Amino acid sequence: MLDQLEWQGEDVIVAVATGTRIPARTFHWLCSLAKVTARELVAVEYKKDAQGFNGEFNLRTTGTEDFRKVMVTYFAQKGFASTDLSRERRILEMVAL
């Protein structure tokens, strides 16, 4: 999604898992898109236990440490209980096949 959040006047790419995780190939594609478009990326993946989804989530971001901190605060204010935060340090380069 590109119309949900802004960071420093630019749209943020927001990816939300439809299951517990965003598939690795999809996430890497989104990282490449973020790099090519010079946008930040925030990805939300949900935790699941024996009863199903439990409301906890993992938050993954690309970009600066300031961006990550703002996203953590934003999601906490919205009532999400984060269990794991990670900042993706490496973004794949797009290459011709």
- Here the CATH number for the domain that contains residue 56 is 3.30.750
pLDDT, position 33: 92
Full residue range of the structural domain in which residue 78 is found: 6-87
Going from the first residue of the chain to its last (97 residues), give the mean pLDDT of each consecutive group of 10, the final group possibly shorter. 80 85 89 91 79 71 86 78 51 41
Asked whether residue 93 is assigned to any structural domain, the reply reads no
pLDDT, position 90: 44
Q: How many domains does the chain have?
A: 1
pLDDT, position 88: 52
Asked whether residue 1 is assigned to any structural domain, the reply reads no
- The answer, as to whether pTM is greater than 0.75, is no
91-96 CB contacts, 8 Å cutoff, 24+ apart? 91/31, 91/32, 91/34, 91/35, 91/62, 92/28, 92/31, 92/32, 93/32, 93/35, 94/32, 94/35, 94/36
pLDDT, position 52: 64
pLDDT, position 40: 92
